[in-house]
Copies of this chain bind each other. A is one copy, B any other.
Amino acid sequence: MFRLYSYFRSSCSYRVRIMLGYKGLEYTYIPVHLLEGGGQQYSDDYLARNPVGELPTLEILDAQGEILSTISQSVAILEYLEEAHPEPSLMPSALPERARVRQIVEIVNSSIQPIQNLKVMKRLQEQFKVERPVALEWAKYWIERGFQGLEKLLQKTAGAHAYGDQLSLADIVIVPQEFNARRFGIDMNLFPTIQRVCHTANQLPAFANAAPAQQPDAP
């Protein structure tokens, strides 16, 4: 049994929603609004679960509903769920292939998403006294720059999915980033391989059900 602290539009929460769905794991959805009241992720209640004040957080419960473990950071959660629930597998077995999948995951997780997320865009507006469109330009710049490298890499690695013909953790992180890219007005025709693997993955129920618009806290 799981409890997921999530915000419908948080791309890191979106990753974990896909993962839980693909593994067939049921969970209770606890919405945490990233903007209301300065951000519910900074409430004492939430900070007690994750002192960094970021989404998502996953609580693992026993049959009585007692918390066994609390994990934050989406990639740590993805790796945990893959180890704890290895079927259906989302990682190749050969070590160099596992490394390549993780390389793709980390391009999104560390080289793109952190620089374009909400807290960074808010801070830009505060520190540099700029309006939201300027912060949006910043976000677009980093997504496009990251996608230029990712597209080249996927041209070598992709089959039906981002890494070969098997769905992997790579697809699980790319799809939410592509969602952000589209939301920010990026022309995905510039990145045909990324666009194609996202389109393919989005046909799967786990991906469709995890989409922001399908969440209980979507407006």
- A111-119, A181-189, A194-202, A210-218 - interface stretch: A111-119
- A150 contacts B52, C-beta separation under 8 Å: yes
* A133 touches B (CB below 8 Å): no
- B52 contacts A99, C-beta separation under 8 Å: no
* A122 touches B (CB below 8 Å): no
* A107 touches B (CB below 8 Å): yes
Taking CB atoms and an 8 Å cut-off, the chain A residues in 72-120 that contact chain B are 72-77, 79-80, 83-84, 95-96, 98-100, 102-103, 105-107, 109-111, 113-115, 120
Task: State how many copies of this chain the complex holds.
Answer: 2
How many angstroms between the C-alpha atoms of A76 and B84 in the bound complex? 20
Which residues of B lie under 8 Å from residue A21 when comparing CB positions?
none
Number of A residues, CB within 8 Å of B: 49
- B149 contacts A99, C-beta separation under 8 Å: no
How many angstroms between the C-alpha atoms of A75 and B74 in the bound complex? 14
Which A residues are within 8 Å of any B CB, using their own CB? 50-54, 60, 68-69, 71-77, 79-80, 83-84, 95-96, 98-100, 102-103, 105-107, 109-111, 113-115, 120, 123, 127-128, 130, 137-138, 141, 146, 148-150, 152-153
